[in-house]
Amino acid sequence: MGNDGGSIPTRRELVKEAARNPTTTELKETQNNQQEYYWTTCPLSQRPLATPIVSDSSGKLYNKDAVLEYLLPADDGTPGRIKSDNEEVLEGRVKSIRDVVEVKFEVVGEVSSVRKGGNMQKEEKWVCPIARKELGPGVKAVYLVPCGHAFSEIALKEVLAESCLQCNKPFSSENIIPILPTAPVDIARLATRIKNLKESGLTHSLKKAPGSNKKRKKNHDGGTEPAIGVTPVAEIDITKNASKPVTPQPSSGTATPRAGIKNAATASLTAKVLEDEKERIKKRKLGMNDNLKSLFSSGGSVTRKDGDFMTRGYSIPAGAKR
């Protein structure tokens, strides 16, 4: 080695140091850098966060226009890599616009321009409307679902309110969402919350999930029941009434439901139809109805001028020869 125009490696260059766990200071510094990045930059579009801003069930912040672009169908000219990268960022938490909530920060002062990476970027200063404390990296902030108003966590705990102090909408403790949480307890609570909401057919914004409204749902016995808001016309138990004759119910002021028919209005209508049918059968058995009977006279064969068309006319005298 040598005399060939190269360099002779030293031991320091050949022997690498053993891997070691980062120190607490290094971990804290890395965490602060990540917090500062996610508080100022949209991870979907890689652009600065600007109003309107939305958040998913994990508490991460995004530009609303970036989420809408992600949800729109991809054009043929859009690289598939971009879509896949966004899916890795969202981790399946956003399937529709109902899976995000618009976070409403209170902006104080004027929007300032800051040079970052050689470009001028606009920044907004967000504060807690209760404590007037600036919200950002190093500050535990939360927002409420479904209204989306943001506060500092310590101020909201001290107030102990059951409704939003900005819009007066009620909220529950489980719908207090920490913004960019780092504590394992907060992350686990948010994961449990969204799991329970999905089991109830709801989304992060407490709206119904797409496809959860089914026209028919199965009973525990395996049957089906009508959709909500649809009244069944008739519910007849075929197995019980297959061999039984149908008998009309007595007509009264209050309709009595027939056996096997659960709907009172349907039972009353059925009883009325059967009663009318019974009356028609009775008249048919008599051999004639009232209209036909009125054509004939009930008297003898006496000729009368005022008789009906069957008795009027010429009749042979009794003493006439035949």
Q: What pLDDT does residue 256 have?
A: 46
Give yes or no for a contact between 205 and 100, defined as CB atoms under 8 angstroms apart.
yes
* Mean pLDDT value of segment 14-36: 81
d(CA 210, CA 215): 13
Per-residue pLDDT at 269 exceeds 80: no
> Which pLDDT does position 75 carry in this prediction?
62
Give pLDDT, residue 22: 79
Q: Does 230 have pLDDT greater than 80?
A: no
Cα end-to-end span (Å), the chain: 163
Domain boundaries, the chain: 24-199, 230-287
Q: What is the mean pLDDT of residues 283-299?
A: 59
**How does pLDDT run across 3-22, given as a tens digit for each residue?**
566 778 787 777 776 667 87
- The fold for domain 24-199 equals Herpes Virus-1 (3.30.40)
Higher pLDDT, 70 or 226: 70
pLDDT: which is higher, 227 or 95: 95
DSSP 122-185: EE--EE-TTT-PBPSTTS-EEEETTT-BEEEHHHHHHHT-SB-TTT--B--GGGEEESS--SHH
**pLDDT average, residue stretch 305-311:** 53
The predicted model gives 138-146 an average pLDDT of 93
For 209, the token pair is 């999930």
Strands (E) across 11-87 are located at 53-55, 61-63
Residue 31 confidence class, pLDDT cut points 50, 70, 90? confident
* Better-scored residue on pLDDT, 11 or 300: 11
**What is the pLDDT confidence band of residue 262, given thresholds at 50, 70 and 90?**
low
User: Which of the four pLDDT bands, split at 50, 70 and 90, describes residue 240?
Assistant: very low
Mean pLDDT is lowest, of 24-28, 38-42, 184-188, 205-209, for 24-28
Largest CA distance in the chain: 170
What pTM value is reported for the model? 0.58
Please tell me the predicted confidence (pLDDT) of residue 142. Answer: 95
Whether 247 has a pLDDT exceeding 70, the answer reads: no
At residue 207, the pLDDT reads 93
Q: What is the pLDDT of residue 216?
A: 43
Mean pLDDT (whole number) for 297-322: 54
Q: Which residue type does 288 have? A: M
Torsion sign (Cα): 291, 292, 298, 300:
positive
Q: Examine the pLDDT at 251 and tell me if it is beyond 80.
A: no
Confidence of residue 25 (pLDDT cuts 50, 70, 90): confident
Instruction: Read off the pLDDT of residues 50-75 as tens digits, 9 standing for 90 and up.
Output: 989 999 999 999 999 999 989 887 66
Q: How confident is the model at residue 281 (pLDDT cuts 50, 70, 90)?
A: confident
Q: What is the DSSP secondary structure assignment for residue 1, as one 8-state letter?
A: -
Binned at pLDDT 50, 70 and 90, residue 276 comes out as: confident
Highest mean pLDDT among 42-46, 73-77, 226-230, 271-275: 42-46
Query: pLDDT averaged over the chain?
Result: 75
Q: 219 pLDDT exceeds 60?
A: no
